[in-house]
Amino acid sequence: MKVKRLASWLWPVIPILAALLFTSGLLLLYKASPIDSFRAMYDGAFGDQSKTLSVLAFWAPLTLSAVGLLVTFTAGLWNIGVEGQIILGSIAASWVALKLDLPSPFLQVSAEILAAMLGGALWAGIAAVFKTRGGVNEIFGGLALNNLAIILTNYLISGPWQPPEGGSFRGTQPFPPDALLPRFAESRFSPLSMIMAFVAIAVIIVMLRGTFWGLKLKALGKNPFSAFLLGVSSEREVILAMMVCGALAGLGGAVRVLSWFDSLRQSISGGIGFLALLVVMLANFQGYWVPFIAVFFSAVLNGSISLQLRTQLHSSLGGILTGVMVLFVLLFSDIGAFKWARREKRE
């Protein structure tokens, strides 16, 4: 009994320890001190105000995409295409920013955000229709569309949208300040993006738990065949769920171009979609965990990038740290004491 209770308290610590141990081993292989490196990562994430703001600026699109994925996971869909949906959101927002000039900044930014959500939803909708009408698994459809979105970005910034002084393959010209999200101080962080993320979390959690549509999605995710027998039209729900996720991911993409950068860049998403998938898995598909885990991921990623700048150690260390943790939780979570504690309560 006592051992089990102790274990249930300790359980959340174990995956973190496992990941730290594994990455420490890698660091020792490169004759780097793990303690110094982890401290450097922490400083790189929260060392001063501008770094903390960077973590938050990275957090917003990550959380938005992860929240979207809650919807598709509930419906039993593996929306790997979320990465491409973020990129399409960025492209659509950039399109409005470059081609439209509306009288007020509010209208301008609203139009950009709306376009981004539509763009993301469209890209997700294509993957969904390929699934329902073409029998193409959403994993493969999404993956192909991810790569096509990257290729489209490269085409745009090296072709029609290249800056007037000539194509550099790096990005479009910076958008006018009125077309950007209002940013906090001199940072990349826009408080508005944080508000959008929290609103999205609240809306999606309520929608999934409290509405009939949420129930339908749950039925679809748990058992598609009986959902069909109960009259849940799977095609409509699949397409809708994907498009809701795509819209949120697209919103995340808008935040990328309108606050993290000020223009459309080559690797505009940089793997945020894949990270969002990991965030949701680590959150055990529970919405209220998503924002906290996203803070952690964002901190690790930003920390590992500044570690690379300082020590030349490759920044993929951050990805390894989070990846090992997710793998560990995925494999062992129900052997973990959480389940024991729950079982005891039931008895």
Residue ranges binding other proteins (CB under 8 A): 26, 29, 78, 80, 130, 133-137, 139-141, 143-145, 147-148, 151-152, 154-155, 158-159, 274, 277-278, 281, 313-314, 316-317, 319-320, 323-324, 326-327, 330-332, 335
Give Cα separations from 115 to 4, 72, 95, 173, 187 (angstroms).
Answer: 52, 21, 8, 19, 25
DSSP type of residue 256: I
Of 218 and 314, nearer to other proteins (C-beta) is 314
Name which of 56 and 278 has its Cβ closer to other proteins: 278
Least Cβ distance, residue 261 to other proteins (angstroms): 21
Cα within 13 Å of Cα(158), Cβ side: 8
Residue (134 or 231) nearer to other proteins, CB: 134
Q: Which is nearer to other proteins, 22 or 213 (CB)?
A: 22
Give alpha helix (H) positions in the chain. 2-10, 13-29, 34-46, 49-74, 82-99, 105-134, 138-158, 191-210, 212-222, 224-229, 234-255, 272-282, 290-311, 316-332, 337-346
| Residue 49: both structure tokens together | 């105000």
Looking at beta carbons only, is 140 or 213 nearer to other proteins?
140
Residue 279: CB minimum distance to other proteins, A:
12
Q: CA angle, 146 as apex, 285 and 66 as ends, to 5°?
A: 20
Question: How far, in Å, are 21, 31, 39, 45, 306 from residue 34 at the CA level?
Answer: 9, 9, 8, 16, 15
Choice between 102 and 148, CB closer to other proteins: 148
What is the signed CA dihedral for 248, 253, 259, 265, rounded to 10 degrees?
Answer: 180
Type of residue at 107: L
Q: In the bound complex, what is the minimum distance in angstroms from residue 51's beta carbon to other proteins?
A: 22
CA distance readout (Å), 187 to 49, 100, 179: 9, 26, 16
> By C-beta, is 52 or 266 nearer to other proteins?
266
**Least distance between other proteins and beta carbon 141 (Å):** 6
In whole angstroms, how close is the CB of 197 to other proteins at the nearest point? Answer: 23
250 within 8 A of 116, measured Cβ to Cβ: yes
Nearest to 328 by CA among 52, 21, 99, 32: 21
Q: What's the closest the beta carbon of residue 100 comes to other proteins, in angstroms?
A: 25
Residue 191 C-beta: closest distance to other proteins, Å: 31
Q: Closer CB to other proteins, residue 206 or residue 335?
A: 335
Least separation in angstroms between residue 259's CB and other proteins is: 26
